[in-house]
Amino acid sequence: MVLQAEMREALGRRVPRSLDPVRGAEEHFLAALSDPDVRLLAAIDPEGAVLGMAHLSVGVPTALMDNRVVHASLVHVLRSARSRGVGHALLAAAAAFGDEVGADHVSVDVYPQHRESQRFYVRMGFSPLVVRRIAPLPVLKRKLGAHIAPSVPVVGEAANTAGRRRVRARLETARAVSVARRRVG
């Protein structure tokens, strides 16, 4: 399929093969069809050729925000179909879905290296919300080196009163050690 080939080419070597949005997507899409908070969009020309696609889901923008948002991912328009209204049609469908589910916003994933897409979304009124970075686990572990063992308890431990006390005690100890190191140094 031309659309899949273009998506893979657009991602190039910048994204690990394990994160390829096209590989294995069929199973994910089939499972998503039964979810009322998910829409799969395809822009199709009169001859039946797919010109573009988008995967829409309902959620919240970030863990600390409670507004509902329609999130558009895997948005892609064929190069040959650009500047013909396909992107506008996909965004209009996302906006209509947002009205249907009571969302306040529409968000979209845009790869930083795709300047044409960045400009398109800016023209459509989108602004940056967060920058999400990704690191392969082995690389992160290598960079962390000896700091891999957590000095702060895991999230579940702080859920009860005793856990919160342990967290406070550890933080106070860490602060004391930090102050002592500064005095010695």
What pLDDT band is residue 18 in, cutting at 50, 70 and 90?
A: very low
- The CA distances from residue 1 to 5, 7, 43, in Å, are 6, 10, 14
Dihedral class, residue 158 (left if φ above 0, else alpha if ψ from -120 to 50, else beta):
alpha
pLDDT digits (tens, 9 = 90+) for 95-142: 999 999 999 999 998 888 889 999 999 999 999 888 888 888 888 888
* pLDDT surpassing 80 at residue 184: no
Structure tokens at 19: 């994160």
Sign of CA dihedral 28, 32, 34, 35: positive
| Cβ neighbour number for residue 37 with a 10 Å cutoff | 13
**H/E segment holding residue 53:** strand 50-59
Per-residue pLDDT, 41: 87
Per-residue pLDDT, 8: 60
pTM comes to 0.63
Cα–Cα–Cα angle for 115, 43, 67, nearest 5°? 65
